[in-house]
Amino acid sequence: MCGIVGFVGNEQAAPIVLEGLSRLEYRGYDSTGVAVYAPEKGLQVRKAKGRLQVLSDQLHGGVDLPGTMAMGHTRWATHGVPSDVNSHPQVSTNGRFAVIHNGIVENYMEIKEFLMDHGVQFVSETDTEVVAQLLDYLYDGNLLETVEKMLHRIRGAYSFGIICADEPDKMVGVRKDSPLLLGYGEGFNFFASDVTAFIDRTREVSYLDTNEIAVVTREGIQVYNEYLEPVEKERHHVDWDISAAEKGGYAHFMLKEIMEQPEAIRKTISPRIQNGRVVLDDLHYEADYLNNLDKIYIIACGSSYHVGMAAKYSLEKLLRKPVEVALASEFRYCDPLVTDRTLAIVISQSGETIDTLTAMREAKRLGARVLSIVNVVGSTIARASDDVLYTWAGPEIAVATTKAYSTQLAVIDLLALNFAQTMGTIDQAEYDAILSDLQAIPDKLEQVLKQKDEIAYFASLYFNQSSIFFIGRHLDYAIGMEGSLKLKEISYIHSEAYAAGELKHGTISLIEDGTLVVALASYTPLFEKMISNVVEVKSRGAEVVGLTVDSHSEEMSKTADHIITVPDIHPMLLPSLNVVPMQLFAYYVALQRGCDIDKPRNLAKSVTVE
């Protein structure tokens, strides 16, 4: 997510804002900028791609910018690659409005076209510049009313900081879904996306709710609702230390990111579902091209590879085209069967994984068209692909991926629906049913996350296991792979995901008294078979945690020692729900074992060396 800081008071503002931005650096960003108002200078904006320190050095720590009102931004690119011109603050052509923004304006293109038809010249690729230009287009001399009019024209999930050079005694903060806090001082006040930005100056905060507008001056803060009716905000005293504040109060980034998954999925899918149809940015795959495909190759590493394993079931089911999933490090050396009728889907959170990048280049050399699914805008893999679909999970800090993995699954589901509709391989009823359940995932995930204490209890029973098995069939097998990797990489317990039907061909010899088996049995067509596999391993002494859907919970509870359930959902979408209990299980086992959860031994967030 982007970082926002705004300050107005009786001392020079730029150094305070730059200091606040430095406390938001942990969130990850690719560019920074500040806007400062001073009577003798007017509204000044300084911004640049790259590290905050570079900008701060250019401004001598902000001393070069006089003025007692300023706001600053660290940008995590979503629309428009990282660059100076795409950095925030974005400014209206006449310099009257400066805007900083966290989130996504879904209908920015239609507004941009409207404004261009009215003579507005744009300089950036961002949705944020559209907001600055729209504010100027609507401005009638009353900033608050202009902001209200603007908000009724845009759609999306966002928070804004706004300064208007014609009304320089105030800053405006707006929240719709993306967090924005208010910080109260004596003779000064703040807004920020995160309490860490100002916690060293004030711990008195209030939290804007969605559709609220804050007018911030050095004398005080007035909050309004979307109808400009005044709203009284409850104040809170924050007693976190800086480290806890960076994690939003969670003990680790990994837990924070697990809990952020509903919001991350909402941000990733909402802009791509318009009027009951999946609209994939500016992707255009013709029916002839798709129907003529000889194969879809999914190429990735680690958890991204596990997304591919789940995707295989969905894509083959809906498109009736062969899907091969390859580990990038193997693909490069297996003399792969690739033609110009092959579509290579390359999945990578970081967009910098060297095995995946090199395999992608090999696929292109062999004639494949490459579509990448990436979380980091402007990353190497994204730039080297023919097409890219971004996951808008925001920066993922923990080495063990969670929200990026979940948003990759969501993008694959969107892609499967979009391709199937283009190819004519899905009927409208099935399309609508899947799309409806896809949009319900965030709310269903919220239900799953409420079980975190139960899952923590299971972890307390089994954190001393020497080996843990994840067994499943079909999609459950694919998700078991991710559950096993999560456990291994942060708790250091050996684990294995196994096709449940394959156990009797050897591996069941490893099952002995007390061995923990996590049995994933959410895929209804194979539920009875999974019950048999649970009986099979229990008869050899295993302890079984069964993971299934609500409609099978009674049956599973007769057989397994413990059960975890997820809400019923279209079978194709089960991975998006099933993965979360296993993320939480791995987290709490590692917590019990005192492991370094966010930075596990021997691992890096992005593997850029072979």
Which residues contact ligand AGP (rule: CB under 6 A)? 301-304, 348-350, 353, 356, 399-401, 489, 606-607
Task: Give me the residue label for tokens 């804050």.
Answer: 214
Which residues form the catalytic set? Answer: 2, 605
Q: Are 76 and 394 in contact (CB under 8 A)?
A: yes
Contact 68, 10 (CB under 8 A): yes
Q: Is 300 helix (H, G, I), strand (E, B) or coil?
A: strand
Least separation in angstroms between residue 414's CB and ligand AGP is 18
Tokens of 369: 């068209």
- The strands making up 323-327's β-sheet, listed across from edge to edge, are 323-327, 295-300, 342-348, 369-374, 387-390
3-class secondary-structure state, position 420: helix
Q: How far is the CB of 576 from ligand AGP (least distance, A)?
A: 16
Residue among 212 and 489 whose Cβ is closer to ligand AGP: 489
Q: What distances in angstroms separate CA 26 from CA 53, 96, 267, 330, 520, one per listed residue?
A: 13, 31, 21, 34, 36
Q: In whole angstroms, give the CA distance from residue 33 to residue 18.
A: 9
136-148: b or e for each residue (b if 16 or more CB lie within 10 Å)? bbebeeebbebbb
Instruction: Report the nearest approach of ligand AGP to the CB of residue 584 (Å).
Output: 14
Q: Is residue 273 helix, strand or coil? A: strand
| Closer residue to ligand AGP, CB minimum distance, 133 or 353 | 353
What is the nearest approach in angstroms of ligand AGP to the Cβ of residue 353? 3
Min dist CB 215 to ligand AGP, Å, is: 42
Closest distance to ligand AGP from the beta carbon of 74 (Å): 21
User: If you search the block for the tokens 């293109």, which residue do you land on?
Assistant: 109
What's the 3-state SS for 492-532? CCEEEEEEHHHHHHCHHHHCCCCCEEEEECCCHHHHHHHHH
Residue with tokens 């500016």: 282
Which residue number is nearest to ligand AGP in terms of Cβ? 302
Q: Which amino acid is at 55?
A: L
Nearer to ligand AGP, 72 or 575 (CB): 575
Minimal distance, residue 402 CB to ligand AGP, in Å: 8
Buried b (16+ CB within 10 A) or exposed e, 181-218: bbbbeeebbbbbbbbbbbbeebbebbebeeebbbbbeb
CA 494/CA 484 separation, integer angstroms: 9
Specify the pairing of strand 189-192 against strand 212-216: unpaired
| CA dist., res. 263 & res. 157, Å (int) | 10
Give min distance, CB of 497 to ligand AGP, in A. Answer: 14
Length of the chain in terms of residues written: 610
Task: Identify the helix (H) or strand (E) that includes residue 257.
Answer: helix 253-259
Between residues 262 and 483, which has the closer beta carbon with respect to ligand AGP?
483
| Maximal C-alpha separation, the chain | 82
Nearer to ligand AGP, 68 or 348 (CB): 348
| Least separation in angstroms between CB 105 and ligand AGP | 27
In the bound complex, what is the minimum distance in angstroms from residue 312's beta carbon to ligand AGP?
A: 17
CB atoms within 10 A of CB 420: 23
Q: Which of 521, 512, 466, 474 is nearest to 491 (CA)?
A: 466
CB of 49 to ligand AGP, least distance (A): 21
Which residues are CB-neighbours of 262 under 8 A, at least 6 positions away? 441, 442, 443, 445, 446, 449
Q: What spatial distance separates the first Cα and last Cα of the chain, rounded to whole Å? A: 29
Burial 422-458 (b: 16+ CB within 10 A, else e): bbebbeeeebeebbebbeebbebbeebbebbeebbeb
- Cβ–Cβ < 8 Å for 467, 493: yes
Nearest to 345 by CA among 401, 396, 307: 307
Among residues 223 and 254, whose Cβ is nearest to ligand AGP? 254
Backbone region of residue 279 per phi and psi (left: phi > 0; alpha: psi in -120 to 50; beta: other values): beta
Kindly state the smallest distance separating residue 300's Cβ from ligand AGP, in Å: 6
